[in-house]
Amino acid sequence: MQAYLDNSATTRPTDGVIDAMARAMREDFYNPSSLYAPAMIPEKQMNLCRDKIRKALHAVDARVIFTSGGTEANNLALFGSIGAMRPPYRAAVSAVEHPSVLEASQRLEEMGCEVFRIPVNEAGELDYDALASFLQGGASLVSCMQVNNETGAKTDVARLSKLVRALAPDARLHVDGVQGFLREEIDFRLIDMYTLSGHKIHAPKGVGALVVRKNLRLKSTHVGGGQEEMYRSGTENTPGIAGLSEAIDEMRKRTDRHETLMSRKLRLVEKMREAVPGLLINGPKPEDGAAHIVNFSFPGVRGEVMLHALEEAGVYASTGSACSSKKRHVSTVLTAMGIPADRAEWALRFSLCPYTTEEEIDYAAKVAGEKYEILKKFQRR
């Protein structure tokens, strides 16, 4: 048996998504920038997908700029915002952001922007008092993720928005929704920019979007043909967008997706605790975090060792962000949360999707218990 529990890294495209992409390549392959009639078909499909995104986010008149994925959309949000503003530049990002935001913020510092990294507590919650203190000096940009990709900790977007609007009304508020889109509710009217990525919701890799408040100006990070309202030059990935459009439809039809995910996650926690006495949970309480992510530490066994032991039995999890998993270091997210280094080294992330079955969960817990019983005998003293 196989249990794929690494859906925060990527999800399997559904058959409907694959069929939609195949049609786009076989029949509607035209360049949407061309002027003849058949080229209007992919253009209409792109605009239909934009409308679906707006509807899902309560973003009636927002611009939807298609990108190659979440990383590019996050880069456009940060560099595009600062590039369109006048100095002095002051930005705040949480200390537990995805590398596409954290490393972009480091580049902003090199460009002369003052960057404040918002501390978090052991549950991954923002230190709003520390942020308030920073905002009182004015701010250009605030960027926080909706759902943490390693622990499932959620940002209280309503609280964040209220604080930013009160203390730094001219600041732009960006939310990285890569792990939250269509899994956790959000009202775009509270923010200015929102990032999403297709391959986290059963669409293909290589397509994402930055949703931008109407009339908010950005400086383009791509130049060339002027596609996407001059904000993202380059011929659009129309097969990918067709797949994203279908994935949005399929996810929204599953009106019980949040309840299903939370039920499966709590079952995983229960079964893992039974199988591995002493198991530790990193981040928020399971019922308080996002419905599809949980981070465990297996005392005395390095996460990478446990990962490969599980892999031998067809159980797939992750040591952290897939974008940095090949960089051998302790998770910066867990470190920023104050998790001790050894406990962080023992950590593995398990992430679900609406199609995850109870059988997969039960099998994964059973295998984890068996593997841990063997591996803990070799723990370092």
Please list the active-site residues: 323
Helix/strand/coil for 243: helix
Q: How far apart are CA 266 and CA 258, in angstroms?
A: 12
Buried b (16+ CB within 10 A) or exposed e, 126-135: beeeebeebb
> Is 320 in a helix, a strand, or coil?
coil
Is residue 324 classed as helix, strand or coil in its secondary structure? helix
Query: Cα 107–112–114 angle (5° rounding)?
Result: 85
Bridge partners of residue 26, in order along the sequence: none
Strand partners, 208: 67, 197
Q: Supply 265's token pair.
A: 């996650």
User: Are residues 184 and 154 in contact, defined by beta-carbon separation less than 8 angstroms?
Assistant: yes
Can you tell me the distance from the alpha carbon of 211 to that of 175, in angstroms, rounded to the nearest whole number? 10
d(CA 314, CA 2) in angstroms, rounded, equals 5
Answer whether 187's CB lies under 8 Å from 177's CB.
no
Burial 162-178 (b: 16+ CB within 10 A, else e): ebbeebbeebbbbbbbb
Nearest CA among 272, 297, 264 for reference residue 369? 272
What is the identity of the amino acid at 28? D
What helix, strand, coil percent values describe the chain, rounded to 5?
45, 15, 40
CA distance 25 to 38: 13
Please give the structure tokens belonging to residue 48: 């239909």
At 318, is the secondary structure helix, strand, or coil?
strand
Q: What gap in Å lies between CA 32 and CA 264, rounded to an integer?
A: 41
